[in-house]
Amino acid sequence: MSLPVRSLPVIQNWDCHSCSDCCRTYHVRVTPEEQQRIIQQNWDDSVLGGRPAFIWEPAIGSERLNHTADGACVFLGPDQRCRIHARFGPEAKPAACRIYPFTLAAVGDHWRAGLRYACPSAAENRGRPLSDHAAEVAVYADLVEQESPGAAAKEPPPPLHPGQNLPWEDILRFADTVDDLLADPRVPFGLRIRRVLTFAQLAKPMRSAALAGGVRPILKVLAAAAIEETPTDPATLSPPGWVGRMLFRQAAMVYARKDNGPDAGVGRTGKLTRFWAAWQFATGRGTIPRLHRAIPERTTFAQAETPWGELDSESTQFLTRYYRVKVQSLQFCGRPHFGTTFWMGLDCLMLTFPVVMWLNRVLTATVLPSTPRASSLATLIRAVRMADDHFGYNTVLGTARQLRAVRILAERGELARLAAWYSR
């Protein structure tokens, strides 16, 4: 019997609104069984835009669903709905298409379901509450368990640090403490992120012997200390240093990039262009390469540094929902996040905050700096969707090089300085 799925306590709604964004953006890998099943459905190539249903994708070492010349999955019909789904029902589709945008993390004796905010309906909170999807998510959990029977129940908790192992209930208490700090409605969202970073800074040196007597009282003390010690005014923190800025821009470049689908960057591809884009991000001067179609033309790196004050309450609520979903669904560490430790995964998630704020400024750059409060909820949602498209999925972010960069940012206190700088 498969593990039960537990709903998230945070309010999150979703329903598919058939925008077809995922069908145009992602290359869906198919297993040999899925490929065989679709072949037996006897699709005529003429229905599929004259293209074969599958194509070999060297980058993933697997067959994947083919796309038409305009970039859409060959099975996307003119009504923006999946032809396989329409003709044979949802069970006939590849598992990846069925499960998206849900995420599943095996957490001890249950699954935790989350959502990818790359999907516009998830980001915009449109549809029924997640709890209404419990039955279908349980089916998805079954599908995942069938791939590797028994593995979910044996999934080990992510260590705090390499080799520092705690039971699942303690790891979840750490996550709950982070969630509580993110949920505090009395303070600006940037301060909440910095409190989480202070909490991490205080808790990281604690060794297993100190935690042996039970983590609950220690976490309470550390959370109170984090609230007490984190400066409330971001202006009191010194600006990010040279190393911090450079490593930040390298991460921002990964999050700002889109290679497939309708949002693919508009610059020419090729080694030289990529090298030039990397050079521009390294120096942080001149115009920002349009690695994603949403980046306005002629936006400069300098424009993205313009201060614009605190976020309004709608934007704060949106960011609260996003980060709480990521934390509560344990999408930031362990198997869902390149197998990272709890602390490394948390630092990676915290780095997305300045990245999102940077992207938010870039996307509104056409009206900056003349309009200091140019941010809108729609732009912020776009920025989060861009970042969430990569978080936990773009393998570049899971490389040793990138994780080392995040470690340097955390150890030098640059994560907190970046969060403060882009909260101005």
Contacting positions for ligand SF4 (CB under 6 A) = 16-22, 100-101, 119-121
Between 19 and 224, name the residue whose CB sits nearer to ligand SF4. 19
DSSP class of residue 163 equals T
Residue 371, judged by CB atoms within 10 A of its CB (0-12, 13-18, 19+), counts as exposed
Between 127 and 369, name the residue whose CB sits nearer to ligand SF4. 127
Between 28 and 319, name the residue whose CB sits nearer to ligand SF4. 28
Between 120 and 129, name the residue whose CB sits nearer to ligand SF4. 120
HEC readout, 121-143:
HHHCCCCEEHHHHHHHHHHHHHH
125 vs 130: CA distance, rounded Å = 10
Between 24 and 192, name the residue whose CB sits nearer to ligand SF4. 24
Between 214 and 262, name the residue whose CB sits nearer to ligand SF4. 262
Report in angstroms how near the CB of residue 211 gets to ligand SF4 at its nearest.
40
Report in angstroms how near the CB of residue 17 gets to ligand SF4 at its nearest.
5
Between 116 and 290, name the residue whose CB sits nearer to ligand SF4. 116
Q: How far is CA 242 from CA 48, 85, 228, 358, in A?
A: 52, 52, 28, 17
Report in angstroms how near the CB of residue 64 gets to ligand SF4 at its nearest.
17
Report in angstroms how near the CB of residue 133 gets to ligand SF4 at its nearest.
12
257 vs 386: CA distance, rounded Å = 8
Distance from CA of residue 84 to its chain's centroid?
28
Q: How far is CA 130 from CA 118, 127, 136, 199, in A?
A: 16, 9, 10, 30
Report in angstroms how near the CB of residue 116 gets to ligand SF4 at its nearest.
9
Residue 32, judged by CB atoms within 10 A of its CB (0-12, 13-18, 19+), counts as exposed
Report in angstroms how near the CB of residue 168 gets to ligand SF4 at its nearest.
30
Between 119 and 350, name the residue whose CB sits nearer to ligand SF4. 119
3-state secondary structure of 375: coil
Report in angstroms how near the CB of residue 96 gets to ligand SF4 at its nearest.
12
Would you report the helix, strand and coil content of the chain in percent, each value rounded to 5?
50, 10, 40
Report in angstroms how near the CB of residue 25 gets to ligand SF4 at its nearest.
8
301 vs 289: CA distance, rounded Å = 10
Q: What are phi and psi of 102, to 5 degrees?
A: -75, 150
